[in-house]
Amino acid sequence: MVKSKTAKAPKSSTRDWIIRGVVFGGLAVLLVLTLLDFQTKQAAQTTSDAWRAAVRAKGEDVELPKSEFSIIPVQGSPQLASGPAGPNPYAARTLETYTWSGIFRNYSVRVFVGAGSDPSIESVQGPGEDTQDE
């Protein structure tokens, strides 16, 4: 009597395809999550770069008022937390922290704001550059 070995091949082939599907599906999910986190990081970095460029464009003698700073578009949808600045090397009274929440990390930009009815922006710190050049 001859035994047939072809009966095991379809089970093995089906199992291999299932394993491949699970592995590639997992990789695809991981790729999507990584791209979403990268997009969040880019939004934070693009916004902080635009804010720093606006502060630098005013020059050292002219300050950027909060009313002009608020016109600059914000990428993404950060959460804003505002509070007293505490001790700092700037003449800032208020610290505004913008936080973009990513899948794996949170990205924060700190904006030091001066005093007055239309306070000036003293410094912008965050992704892309740790501190502003004085």
- 79-84 and 94-101 beta bridge pairing: antiparallel
- Domain annotation covers residue 19: yes
- Domain annotation covers residue 130: no
- Domain annotation covers residue 1: no
Identify the domain containing residue 106 by its residue range: 8-125
Quote the percentage of the chain above a pLDDT of 90. Answer: 50
**pLDDT tens-digit profile of 14-71?**
889 999 999 999 999 999 999 999 999 999 999 999 999 998 888 777 888 999 998 9
- Domain annotation covers residue 70: yes
- Domain annotation covers residue 133: no
- Domain annotation covers residue 132: no
Whole-angstrom distance, CA of residue 82 vs CA of residue 68: 18
- Domain annotation covers residue 3: no
- Domain annotation covers residue 85: yes
- Mean pLDDT of the region 1-21: 71
- In whole angstroms, what separates CA 64 from the centre of its chain? 24
Enumerate long-range contacts of 53-62, CB under 8 Å, 24 or more apart. 55/121, 55/123, 55/124, 55/132, 56/132
Question: What is the number of structural domains in the chain?
Answer: 1
